[in-house]
Amino acid sequence: MTVITKDTVFEALKAVYDPEIGVNIVDLGLVYDADIKENNDIEVTMTLTSMGCPLGPVIISDVQQALSPLEGVGEVGVRIVWSPPWSPAMMSEDARDELGIW
């Protein structure tokens, strides 16, 4: 069985972009954790930029589509949490540079 790591998951999730902001969800700081079970099921714990984010379902679907092709992956689940709440301070330096936030 192929071993899937958190690094592998986070790298794959860099292909998922917030459609409104145009930056990937990892660099935005939206992805908090990835729990990988022994059978390679993955549960991603993440948040959205706001509780009323109209594109939440699209982002969740994109996360599932980004992880499903990983070799040996089982079921992919996404758990949305609101604590801690997202803020621009959670963005990577690359994301801040891309958006012109100093």
**Least confident segment among 10-14, 23-27, 93-97:** 93-97
- Separation of alpha carbons 32 and 9, rounded Å: 12
* Residue 48: inside a domain: yes
Global pTM value = 0.93
Q: With bands split at pLDDT 50, 70 and 90, how would you rate the model's confidence at 93?
A: very high
Residue-wise pLDDT for 27-73, tens only, equals: 999 999 999 999 999 999 999 999 988 999 999 999 999 999 999 99
Q: Residues for the chain: how many in total? A: 102
How many structural domains compose the chain?
1
Domain that holds residue 64: 6-99
- Assess if residue 57 is contained within a domain: yes
Q: Is there a domain that residue 94 lies in?
A: yes
